[in-house]
Structure formats: C-alpha cells, structure tokens
Structure 1
Amino acid sequence: MINKIIEVSKQMSYQFIIVFTVIISMCSCSNDSEVNEPEVIPEVVVEEEVEETPEPEVEEEVIVEGVDFFLPNIDLSNWKVTLPIGSPDEVEPPEILDYATDEKLMPYMYNDSTDGSLVFYTSPGSSTANSSYSRTELREQMVPGSNSTNWTFAQGGRMKGTLSVPEITTDASGDYHRTMVMQIHGRLTNAQRDLIGENDNNAPPILKIYWENGKIRVKTKILKDVNASDEQILHTDAWGDDEGYTFPDEIGTDIFTFEIIASNGRLEVILNETESVVYEDIHMEKWSVFENYFKAGNYLQTLDTGASAKVKYYELEVTH
C-alpha cells in the first residue's frame, strides 16, 4: 500500500515538473517576443518656414484737370439760362453755378470733359412769349438774379466767345437747320414801357448771330422810318431786318471765335479775330435809346419734328 502511495506521488511530481517547465518556457517566449518587437518611432515632420512676399503698394491715381479731363473757362455768375421745357423753365444765379449736378439742367446744359466745353442742347419744345422757337440760351444779368439792370450803347459792352456747332440736324430737303448762337437783345425801361402802353419790357434784338449752313450770318435791325420820333422808335414794329451779312469763310463744325463790340452809335462783329464788319449809321445812333443785354447759347430756328442741335462753348466773357 505504502509502495503504491510512493509510486503515485512520484508520478504526480513528474507531472508537476512537466507542467511547470512548460509554463516557464511559455513565459520565456512571451518575454522574448516583447523584447524582439521593433520599437515604432513616430516620424517628426518639420515644416519649412515660407517667407511671405509683401504685396506691392498701389499708388492712388491722381486725376488732373487739363491732363485727364478738361472744364470750360466760363464764369456763370452773371448769367441765367432758359430751357426748352416748362413754360419755359429758367435757372438763375446762384443755382446755375451747380448746373453740372442739376437734374433739370443736365439734359440741356452740361460739360463735355473730353474737350473742355459747355454744351447747350436743344430741340423743339417750350418757347418764350415772343417766339415760337425753343432755346437753351444764356441771358446776361449784370446784377445776378435780376433782369432790371442792363446797359446802353453809350455805356458800351463787349462779348467774346470760343464755340462750335458740332451737331445739327437737316430738314426734309437735306439742308441744315440753323441756330442762333449770340445776340444783343433790346429792353424797354419801365418808364418807356409805360409810355407806350406795353405790358412787358420786351424790345427787338439789335443783333443776331446765326450758324447757317456751316457759315456765320449776321442780322441787325434798321428803322423803317429814320425820321420816327423818340417815342415811335420804342415800338417793336418801328424796326425791320437788314439784308444780313454772311462771312465768306466756312466754319462747319470747327471751333471758332466771335467777338461783339458795342459802343455809342457803333457796332462791330469780328470772326476769328481777322474778319470784321462794322455798323455805324443812323440806325445805330437811334438804337442808343434802348437798354441791352447779351445772350449766348443755342436758339434753334425750326419746329421740325426730330430736329436738334448742340452748340459748344469753350470760353465766354463779357466786359462793360
């Protein structure tokens, strides 16, 4: 019995030894595996510094008058303008000085900055009480905002303009329409108006300057009866038109200068500072009874549908 027990113990010891040996062996393999496994080292990426290139500075563009754009050399402080709209509408100083931003004026009176001109555009529309034609035309005001202060030939007056008629329509026959670009207009004093029983101060224009078929034509007034009394000559119907004079040089759409010089009993008109016509006679002497004012612009002489004209003024000056 004892021998059997001893024998069984031996067998169990052998089994224990075998199991222990296997466990040790497995642990050894596990450790070897952990030791031999290669270490994974994370890759470090070094970003290169990118040098930023500064954007080039953009210089602010400077727009220079006389280089990039041009403005007319015209002082409107002593002018009002009549338009071919309304009844008709008028704009006086000082409002006229803001013509470039005045929405009512802009279609008819505006700057052309490409050539430094003040453009007067008109087409048939509204007209004044003593005319059937429309105009975009300046009227001199010696006292801004007032029509009451004017000048006589004895006091004298001079107007000089640089201008052109670049666009004007033609009639059914293919002939150009004509437009009036300058005037000296007469005016009755209040006393004269009352003396002859008129209801306004209107008197005839002593001088009218037309652009006609590419040339400059001058018209003045003459007395129908040179022996008429001082009171009789105050009536508009005492005066008629002369035959007129057309300067021989063709202007076309080119820029030209025109000068008007009025003095006691004398009137002179000058084209391009070279051609001159003088009126010095009984009619000019008699005219000295009237007050006067200058006009300049675009007074289109037609009622044709679709007619229009542009007159450009580059310079305009008046002295007394």
Structure 2
Amino acid sequence: MKKKYTCFLLVFAFAAISSYGQRAPKIDLSMWKLSIPEGSQTTYAGQDLANYSSNIEIQRFMFNDNSERALVFYAYPSVKSKNSYTRTELKEQNSFGTEIGWTFREGAKLKTVIRMGTISKNDDKYPRVILVQMGSRLKEEQAEKVNANDNNLPPFLKIYWDNGKIKLRSKKAASLSITGSDLYKENSWVDDDGFAFKEKVDFDKFTLEINVTADRTVVTLNNGETKVYSGEDYRKWSQFENFFRTGCYLQSREAGAFANAKYFTLEVVH
C-alpha cells in the first residue's frame, strides 16, 4: 500500500509540473537582456535571465501569469529613477549575448501578442505606457566624427498604449537640408506628429507586427490597419544601427502610479 501511495504522489507531482510548464509562457529569452527598476542587480541576461522564475528580485517586476499563460512586465515610479520614467524592459541581444545592431537594409521583423493588464488611474485617465520601441545608436565611427560622448540616439520608433488606443511616435529630420555628419547629432532629429490606429484595443489581446526593410517599416495592428514609414527621413536614418526593446515603460512619475503589460508571444526574425 505504501508503494502504491508513493507512486501516486510521484505521478501527481509529475502531472502538476507538466501542467505548470504547459501554462507558462513560451517566450524565448535567450536573445534578450532584461532591465528592472530596482534591486541589487538591475540587468540580467543569459542563464541569469533564463532562471527568472526563481529570482526574487526579477519576480517583483517580471513574472509568469500561468492562468493566462503570459509573461507579465510590471513598473512603477522607482526611488532610484526620480528624474526619469521607470521601465521593466527587454533589450534585443545577439546570439553571443552582446549588443546587437542592424540597419534597415539588413531588415528585421518583430511580432507579439500583448494585453494591457492592471494600470493606475488619475483624474479618470490612465498613464501612457510604451510597449515596444525600435531603439537606435550611432556606429562607432559616426560617434567619433562628431565627438559624441556616447553612441546613443533617441529611438526611431515608440509604440504606446494610451487610454486603450495604440499610438506611434517616430523621428524625422529637423530639416531635410541636413546632410552628412550633421545627421549624427541628436538635435538634428525631432518627433513627428504621431499616429494613432483607429481600432481601440482597451484591455483586450492584440497582435502587433513590425516589418523593417531597406525602403520602409510597416507597423500592423491585428493583421489589419497599417502605418508605413518611408521616404527621405527614412533614408537618412537608414545609416544607423537599430534594435528592439519591449516590456512595460511607464510614462508617469506620480506617486502610486503603476502598470503591467502581459505578453503571450514574442518573436524576432532577422
């Protein structure tokens, strides 16, 4: 009887583990680096990131929702980030676990299924949350030509959740007359007028796809409405390196503000 009972427990434990594994989100984190707002360590990659479910500090900001089989990113105004917005965010890496950079000509594609989770509200309005970005940087030789302190550039593209709508903001040249190494200077670029998809996603699941090619970037919501970036501004930016960021980047510093975003799938192809 004791053997049968022990066998039953083992079968039950195996079934429980298998069920947990089936419900956990199937998102490959091997090509990403995670940044969290606070902790003794705030950046994780490789095996440290792969073991996120057993890391208490990561679990405060990124964790599984097994009931929905989603990966949750949580952010709130951090004590350590008084003068900036707070993010819990993945940054694209290469297969060696180091910084990746690709040009428009090389191309890239990101596809993800997301749902906005719980979020604070103030004066009947939610704070904005950046979900996906196409980050950018100068190449080393470009930074040297203009004696830049670093090779950072503002993101070429930001994708927001804003009171239930998905909105985009991109960069354009401050003047199309700017050419050559002057384009390497950050003040040569300004925000465009922005774009909002007509469909309101609210707190429902939605699919977001970014397809980058040499002559255009196409952003698609739910396999329907699209926004295309192309033309002279696009060609001027095409000389820089780019990479994807995704997660929950809260655009509020108010006390008590918070947000979480749930990712069901996340795929990047080059």
Query: TM over 0.5, yes or no?
Result: yes
CA distance in 2, matches of 1:275, 1:87: 43
8 Å contact kept, 1:176–1:213:
yes
Structure showing greater radius of gyration is: 1
CA distance in 2, matches of 1:215, 1:66: 35
| Correspondence 1:222-241 to 2 at 5 A | 222-241=172-191
8 Å contact kept, 2:23–2:66:
yes
Structure 1 residues 68, 266: CA separation in 2 closer, same or farther (over 3 Å shift)? Answer: closer
CA distance in 2, matches of 1:260, 1:177: 24
% identity of equivalent residues: 36
TM-score by length of 1: 0.78
Deviation at 1:245, TM superposition (A): 0.9
Structure 1 residues 87, 279: CA separation in 2 closer, same or farther (over 3 Å shift)? Answer: farther
| Correspondence 1:19-58 to 2 at 5 A | 57-58=4-5
- Aligned match of 2:138 in 160, 178, 188? 188
1:57-115 Cα deviation digits (max 9, x unpaired): 55332226468851112100010011111598211223111111112201001111111
Cross-structure match for 2:202? 252
8 Å contact kept, 1:138–1:296:
yes
8 Å contact kept, 1:166–1:254:
no
Structure 1 residues 97, 202: CA separation in 2 closer, same or farther (over 3 Å shift)? Answer: same
Cross-structure match for 1:163? 114
Deviation at 1:256, TM superposition (A): 0.8
| Correspondence 1:169-318 to 2 at 5 A | 169-171=120-122, 173-318=123-268
CA distance in 1, matches of 2:18, 2:268: 24
Is 1:85 paired with 2:35?
A: no
Aligned residues: 263
CA distance in 2, matches of 1:105, 1:199: 31
8 Å contact kept, 2:39–2:57:
no
CA distance in 2, matches of 1:281, 1:57: 71
CA distance in 1, matches of 2:97, 2:22: 31
SS, match of residue 198 in structure 2: coil
- Quick check: which one's strand share is greater? 2
Structure 1 residues 127, 200: CA separation in 2 closer, same or farther (over 3 Å shift)? Answer: farther
CA distance in 1, matches of 2:89, 2:179: 33
Unaligned segments of structure 2, at least 5 residues: none
8 Å contact kept, 1:74–1:315:
yes
Is 1:98 paired with 2:51?
A: yes
- Aligned match of 2:85 in 118, 126, 133? 133
CA distance in 2, matches of 1:107, 1:223: 39
CA distance in 2, matches of 1:297, 1:110: 12
- Aligned match of 2:105 in 123, 133, 154? 154
TM-score by length of 2: 0.91
Structure 1 residues 68, 240: CA separation in 2 closer, same or farther (over 3 Å shift)? Answer: closer
Structure 1 residues 132, 262: CA separation in 2 closer, same or farther (over 3 Å shift)? Answer: same
Unaligned segments of structure 1, at least 5 residues: 1-53
SS, match of residue 283 in structure 1: helix
CA distance in 1, matches of 2:19, 2:76: 31
Cross-structure match for 2:27? 74
Deviation at 1:145, TM superposition (A): 2.9
CA distance in 2, matches of 1:142, 1:68: 26
Q: Give the aligned CA root-mean-square deviation in angstroms.
A: 2.1
- Aligned match of 1:109 in 38, 59, 62? 62
- Paired AA for residue 124 in structure 1: P
